[in-house]
């Protein structure tokens, strides 16, 4: 069966510090991978998605970036965090073809102080 991991679960970072959130998927190959952000009490905002290694599409211009160094690894980064980067970050995966539902990791709660 497939599982998706995210870490860390919680992170408190000062403004201007760097960020690295990691997501890995087990039990499948060549998944589509997604990063979402969710503000408190709000819906999901798609940040990045990837259909393969090194292939990243950005949905929202901002100071965040994403990378996919391995088939089942997806990393969300920032060089300098802003207060507005606070939120709940969710990683998700889906199969590349066929069924299109996305499966989510447990999320990372980021607070920028």
Partner 1 sequence: AQTVTQSQPEMSVQEAETVTLSCTYDTSESDYYLFWYKQPPSRQMILVIRQEAYKQQNATENRFSVNFQKAAKSFSLKISDSQLGDAAMYFCAYYPNAGNNRKLIWGLGTSLAVNP
> Given the rule CB under 8 A, which residues bind partner 1?
38, 42-44, 46, 49, 59, 88, 90, 92, 99-107, 109
Q: Which is nearer to partner 1, 5 or 79 (CB)?
A: 5
The single residue listed with the structure tokens 């499966």 is 103
**Shortest distance, position 96 Cβ to partner 1, whole Å:** 11
Closest to 58 in 3D by CA, of 48, 44, 46: 48
The single residue listed with the structure tokens 């919680």 is 10
Diameter of the chain measured on Cα atoms: 42
Q: Which is nearer to partner 1, 75 or 105 (CB)?
A: 105
**Shortest distance, position 98 Cβ to partner 1, whole Å:** 10
């Amino acid at each position: 069966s497939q599982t998706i991991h995210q870490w860390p679960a919680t992170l408190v970072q000062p403004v201007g510090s760097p960020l690295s959130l990691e997501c890995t998927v087990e039990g499948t190959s060549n998944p589509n991978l997604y990063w979402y952000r969710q503000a408190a009490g709000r819906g999901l905002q798609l940040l990045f998605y990837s259909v393969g290694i090194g292939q990243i599409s950005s949905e929202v211009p901002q100071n965040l970036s994403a990378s996919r160094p391995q088939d089942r690894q997806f990393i969300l980064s920032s060089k300098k965090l802003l207060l507005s980067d606070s939120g709940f970050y969710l990683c998700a995966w889906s199969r590349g073809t066929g069924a299109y539902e996305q499966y989510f990791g447990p999320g990372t709660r980021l607070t920028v102080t």
